[in-house]
């Protein structure tokens, strides 16, 4: 049995707590490795070592820190195939999807090469008589990142990259379900020139998390996961005086107007709803066609597309549409919600509750499911399913459709498909959701913009990556400077002349 490690002070380090968590092969259901669960003492030691390493790293000028990011880009591209295979093996997503995970993280590292520009302060000459005023951005010190299972490369890179580029030390707590890629990335950072101890990877559970949240050394906390845990982490971190950004759940609606290209809309819904087995916070899980005729046309287009989806392990090739979900518990939860939809009266037009893959009967595979005539009072509408399930909620008008998205407690992402510019512009301006797509199903901003939802999808004031990340991981210091001039007499300043 393969036993994983932590990554501490520049090296893979065995855990000492004696506690482990099983890491499964989602395709077979078999345990493939053991992940150590750090004790409070181990976590505290990692934090203290990071604190010892941070001052020298923070004192290194931004251009030299950016060179580490530049080297990291080359190393990730060199090892892309190896990283993608390790990611797919533990998470279950297809190789193309795994490479997409890595690529979107890599783009943030590329953005961090511009750290010298992002960290420049402001300067005002002669703010008063003989007075100059300037501001500088300085690192927080040691920060913590607590990351989810569904993007084991992208999510850590979105947070660790900017934090390091700003001069902080980082203690990363990756998901215990798929920790190998974060450990591999930590090794690559050392190869790229990052000093030892500046980036620590501590595997663990609530004990490690609470130690991070309660540590007086940790100055900032970033988290991505479910809304209840996001609320918990945000509350505990801020109660302890820390800066926090915590990103939670989602229920993303895609409105389909009568004038939309129905083939384009159907293709978008299938890709956005079922890609990565629906285990994405930006997955479109609710289609909202406007009008009965639109709904009928959309369902007619969707059914054959959903039925043709190929579900298989990543080892079956690049034509696999999606693989298993991450754990047996996730599979059981998804199937339970599907059954609740049937029990509550939704029309299950594509039913794969009995899906089984020959040779992989013990794997965590869930077949694609399509519901029609879902109503807002149903559990499958209210709950983030995080699985390959698409629900169709029929709306009688544009106002009813936009109201559904606006009234939902989550506000991560949304989209509209239409040929009408006025409708699209109205939608973009009125919707109370953080990321909006117009004829784009998953509106994830590129690295030089910021990513973040509204309502119960996000807790905190600053978003992920882009300019917000450099604001989050630094403090602004403003200096007011006065250098009075004297009158030289005999090579000395005559300070009496200043009186």
Catalytic residues: 281
Q: How many CB atoms lie within 10 A of CB 379?
A: 16
**Max CA distance (Å), the chain:** 97
Q: Are residues 47 and 217 in contact, defined by beta-carbon separation less than 8 angstroms?
A: yes
Q: Are residues 38 and 17 in contact, defined by beta-carbon separation less than 8 angstroms?
A: yes
| Rg of the chain taking only CA atoms, in angstroms | 25
CA–chain centroid gap for 134, Å, is 34
**CA pseudo-torsion sign 71, 74, 78, 81:** positive
Residue holding tokens 């807790």? 459
The two tokens of residue 473 are 């991981």
Separation of alpha carbons 269 and 283, rounded Å = 9
In 3D space, the residue among 154, 209, 144 whose CA is nearest the CA of residue 176 turns out to be 209
The two tokens of residue 110 are 């590329």
The two tokens of residue 460 are 């905190």
Separation of alpha carbons 394 and 375, rounded Å = 8
């Amino acid at each position: 049995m393969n036993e994983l490690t932590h990554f501490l002070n520049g090296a893979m380090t065995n855990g000492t707590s004696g506690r482990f968590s099983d890491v499964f092969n989602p395709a077979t259901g078999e345990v493939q490795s053991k992940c150590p669960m750090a004790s409070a003492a181990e976590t505290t030691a990692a934090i203290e070592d990071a604190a010892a390493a941070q001052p020298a790293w923070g004192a290194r000028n931004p251009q030299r820190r950016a060179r580490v990011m530049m080297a990291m880009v080359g190393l990730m591209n060199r090892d892309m195939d190896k990283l993608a295979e390790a990611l797919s093996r533990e998470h279950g997503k297809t190789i193309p999807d795994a490479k997409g995970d890595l690529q979107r993280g890599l783009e943030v590292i590329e953005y961090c090469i511009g750290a010298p520009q992002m960290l420049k302060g402001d300067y005002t000459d002669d703010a008063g008589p003989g007075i100059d005023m300037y501001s500088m951005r300085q690192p927080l010190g040691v920060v913590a990142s607590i990351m989810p299972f569904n993007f084991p490369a992208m999510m850590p890179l979105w947070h660790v990259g900017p934090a390091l580029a700003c001069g902080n030390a980082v203690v990363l707590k990756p998901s215990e379900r798929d920790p190998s890629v974060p450990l591999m990335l930590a090794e690559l950072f050392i190869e790229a020139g990052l000093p030892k101890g500046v980036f620590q990877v501590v595997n663990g559970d609530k004990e490690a998390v609470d130690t991070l949240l309660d540590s007086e050394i940790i100055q900032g906390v970033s988290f991505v996961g479910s809304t209840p845990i996001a609320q918990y982490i945000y509350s505990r971190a801020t109660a302890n005086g820390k800066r926090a950004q915590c990103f939670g759940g989602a229920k993303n609606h895609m409105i389909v107007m009568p004038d939309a290209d129905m083939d384009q809309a159907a293709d978008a819904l299938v890709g956005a709803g079922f890609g990565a087995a629906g285990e994405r916070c930006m997955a479109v899980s609710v289609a909202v066609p406007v009008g009965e005729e639109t709904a009928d046309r959309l369902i007619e287009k969707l059914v054959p597309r959903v039925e043709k989806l190929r579900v298989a392990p990543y080892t079956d090739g690049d034509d696999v549409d999606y693989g298993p979900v991450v754990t047996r518990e996730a599979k059981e939860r998804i199937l339970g919600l599907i059954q609740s939809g049937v029990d509550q009266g939704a029309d299950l037009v594509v039913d794969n509750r009995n899906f089984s893959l020959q040779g992989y009967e013990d794997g965590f595979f869930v077949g694609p499911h399509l519901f029609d005539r879902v109503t807002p009072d149903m559990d499958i509408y209210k709950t983030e399913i995080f699985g390959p399930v698409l629900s169709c909620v029929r709306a009688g008008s544009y106002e009813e459709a936009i109201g559904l998205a606006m009234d939902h407690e989550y506000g991560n992402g949304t989209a509209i498909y239409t040929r009408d510019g006025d409708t699209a512009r109205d939608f973009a301006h009125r919707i109370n959701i953080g990321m909006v797509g117009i004829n784009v199903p998953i509106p994830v901003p590129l690295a030089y913009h910021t990513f973040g939802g509204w309502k119960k999808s996000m807790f905190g004031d600053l978003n992920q990556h882009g300019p917000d990340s450099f604001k989050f991981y630094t403090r602004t210091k403003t200096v007011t400077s006065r250098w009075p001039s004297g009158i030289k007499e005999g090579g000395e300043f005559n300070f009496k002349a200043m009186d």
